[in-house]
Amino acid sequence: MPTERWSDEIWIVRLQNEPAFSDEIHPLLQRLGRDEAPPAIIVDLSEVTRINSSNLSQLLKLRKTAADHNVEVRVTSPTNAVWSVFLMTGLDKVFPFAQDTATALAELQLNE
C-alpha cells in the first residue's frame, strides 16, 4: 500500500508483511533523502504479523534518516507478535508509539 499524504504535515505509511514491507520503506527512504518529507510520518504496523531483523534495520534507518531531516516518526498499532519483538530488542524505548493511527494523528496535531 503506498504512502498516504494525510496532509502537508503528516504522511501515513501502512506496512504489511514482506515483501511489501521493504517495497514501501525503500521509496520512503529515498523521498526523505531528497528532502521531500513532511514534519511527521506515521508508520502503521497493524497488518504486520511478523517482523525480521531486516525489517527492524529498515525501521531504524527510517528513524535515522527522518531525524537527519527533522521529521518525526511515530509507530502505531503493532500486533502482539511484533510488539514482543520490539520489547525483546529494546526498540520499544527507541520509537515513539501510539495505540492506533487516529491517536497518533491527534497527538501530532496537538503538537503543531
> Is the pTM higher than 0.85?
yes
64 and 86 in contact (C-beta within 8 Å)?
A: no
Residues 6+ apart with CB under 8 A from 84: none
Strand residues in 6-102 grouped as ranges (E) = 10-16, 40-47, 72-76, 97-98
pLDDT at 1: 53
pLDDT at 112: 63
CATH number of 4-111: 3.30.750.24
Instruction: For residue 12, count other CB atoms closer than 10 A to its CB.
Output: 20
Tens of pLDDT, residue by residue, the chain (112 residues): 568 888 888 999 999 999 999 999 998 888 887 767 788 999 999 999 999 999 999 999 999 999 999 999 999 999 999 999 999 999 999 999 999 999 999 998 887 6
